[in-house]
Structure 1
């Protein structure tokens, strides 16, 4: 196991792409173990021969169709109408829109990019500081992989064998809790610091505005109802739901709203294919890495090591959280899931932790990594849109990070929050 870990570390330090690093380190280990090379392509192609994994490119495509087809724009309109009268209303609208967009896109980066590109410029017009606007967008973007459907949950389910539908159900209440806490934080900071412009609350005008926005977005709002209702109601699987999402987004964008043209589709399809292929390649080579770990009996050996440290599941989860928070700061989320999921999941089960609950803990933990420097993808997206440096973002971001970590602790030690609909 020393050869495998050392090889991987050296390749990471040498800035070798994650997929290649996983493949090369695994190849060196399997060669050392005397495993015939014919086993390698079998493992790689078997990992991709998965009905559940088909959902990944479809959710990526659905997110891009939403962003360019007018769906995201209408969801923003509803969120703004609902909370514009609150002090910090536009900041809380960023979080609310991210929650709505997350119910369809399945991606943290897509959520941050779509919502940020529409609302950060508007927040600037209403006297919100750019760093605060960027921090709000980056932190709420992580909801894209927590509120179902989620690409990260699809990958975790495929890698570990945990039910993807159960993961989707488990993510619903924690996602709503995180969203509500981020909205509260944005409102409190805006009120204390005097950010934004508050509109006078007039019930009749507010109801009229909400009604107009909801009517304009009625078909867009129906999209998450169809997708999540179908999954939770057992009408279709998570993969079939992804197909429904794509066709519904195409129907709205082309036929109803007319903002998608047929000439736009090849570029959108190609972009979704490139994004998905990168993740698929990581999954394929991670299967090699997992095979090497299996041959080395790594989960069993690490489990024995942890047992010498503690036999208490509470302390085990604390150690795992600290470890994953550090990993999330330096490693891309999907790569961390495919590398660490097969190792940590069976150990957690040995400690008596529900595999669905542990999967959600891991995903939420690594989602926090998307908004932590130095490699948090949401930070780069938010900084690019708001035209600020990472250093300017850190101070307002720190408050949101503390809120996210507090939510993580609640999710970790209150399993009923995740499992209430599964019992």
Structure 2
């Protein structure tokens, strides 16, 4: 590999480690490469960046971010929590299961992990502490469960992957569903194990009839929220709308529910919702702009082909190459968020996976699970830091339970996803008939 490329990659890693914002780290690396290298006019780079950011497919991502902000402001999230609490909350440790399940459902609506941390952390951490859960554990569970938002459709991460790789976004949505379901089960199981010695207060016993009536009442109050992911997926897989159009429908649906039906979102709240969503989207779009330019420069320098040749010179065993790819993705996820990792890794790794015969839809699940695990793995672990801030707890108190969830939850799912392709391909083949 050319020394200039190695130096550029080293600078990018250095910028990320010392805390330079990710979009600026990408931008500085692009500027360094262009100044030091011999690429002629910069017009082609700027045009590449603008062409990608103006993609109609990419528009789905900011719309789903907006949905997440609407849900966080209104009572949709709290109604989901109350419904799941009525089912699982009477078990010792059941409130932890509520966190896992509701985060998965919330992810199926908002598609972003940070929105899940903000919404679930604000609602669930105080409630769990009030019932006797350790605050550090509560924040850790919320942060780790938020990664389900990257796997449950409609996932913004899968939109980015499908957009970059040219893979069907509908198929990418389906690929991580079974791995996510296994992850929900493992997180719930280890939740009961980790909370067995906590002084948790359980609700008073109640007759079965009273419990059923409570579940029915809470279910009725949360019906409109539960219908949303079903509506989104139905219009996509029924062929009625593209993911972008479905995202627009989801925004309209959430606004009608919050403003007109539940009336817990006031007109004055709309400015704050738009401002928060716009800030997030602005950062993401700047990141996309610079990441596309950096990817174009790496492609011109033949970086993907050189990596393919290097890996094949070490071994031709596809399983060993997949292990090395997984290690690279986990390390990448430790250094940057899922969007940044996807934008950087996808164009580099797709040629490698094609060379060893990995289906692009299968790789969608692999890269989603990998980068999700990296987001909760120190040293950077952006979701853990965000969870610590939302939960108002030192990060150190979150590390022990987080380690259990990563080693005994995420890692097994990652290995299953990587080495059992049917786990990722069964649903896309069943629903969409992909080869």
Q: Is the 8 A contact 2:373 2:406 kept in 1?
A: yes
- Alignment-derived partner of residue 251 in structure 1: 256
Q: Is the 8 A contact 1:145 1:363 kept in 2?
A: yes
1:43 aligns with 2:43: no
Q: Is the 8 A contact 1:4 1:26 kept in 2?
A: no
Q: Is the 8 A contact 2:116 2:149 kept in 1?
A: yes
Deviation of the 1:201 alpha carbon: 6.4
Deviation of the 1:396 alpha carbon: 1.8
Structure 2 CA distance, aligned partners of 1:197 and 1:124? 10
1:13 aligns with 2:14: yes
Question: Residues 258 and 297 of structure 1: is their aligned pair in 2 closer, same or farther, counting only changes over 3 Å?
Answer: same
Deviation of the 1:174 alpha carbon: 1.8
- Alignment-derived partner of residue 61 in structure 1: 66
Deviation by residue 1:50-105 (Cα, 9 ceiling, x = unmatched): 11100111010000001112111111111101101222011111111101101101
> 1:223-372 counterparts in 2 under 5 A?
223-372=228-377
Size of the alignment, in residue pairs? 422
1:104 aligns with 2:109: yes
TM-score normalised by the chain length of structure 2:
0.93
SS in 2 for 1:33: coil
Q: Is the 8 A contact 1:135 1:400 kept in 2?
A: no
Q: Is the 8 A contact 1:12 1:18 kept in 2?
A: no
Out of 121, 138, 147, which is 2:143 matched to? 138
Structure 1 CA distance, aligned partners of 2:140 and 2:404? 9
SS in 1 for 2:393: coil
- Alignment-derived partner of residue 421 in structure 1: 427
TM-score normalised by the chain length of structure 1:
0.96
Deviation by residue 1:363-412 (Cα, 9 ceiling, x = unmatched): 11111122122322221222123322111211121111111111111111
Question: Residues 297 and 387 of structure 1: is their aligned pair in 2 closer, same or farther, counting only changes over 3 Å?
Answer: same
Structure 2 CA distance, aligned partners of 1:111 and 1:168? 18
Structure 1 CA distance, aligned partners of 2:73 and 2:404? 32
SS in 2 for 1:53: coil
Out of 32, 38, 42, which is 1:33 matched to? 38
Question: What are the ranges of 5 or more consecutive residues in structure 2 without an aligned counterpart?
Answer: 430-435
Q: Is the 8 A contact 1:69 1:249 kept in 2?
A: no
> For structure 1, which segment, 171-180 or 50-59, has the greater mean C-alpha deviation from structure 2 after superposition?
171-180
> For structure 1, which segment, 298-307 or 9-18, has the greater mean C-alpha deviation from structure 2 after superposition?
9-18
Question: What are the ranges of 5 or more consecutive residues in structure 1 without an aligned counterpart?
Answer: none
SS in 1 for 2:257: helix
Structure 1 CA distance, aligned partners of 2:376 and 2:190? 16
- Alignment-derived partner of residue 157 in structure 2: 152
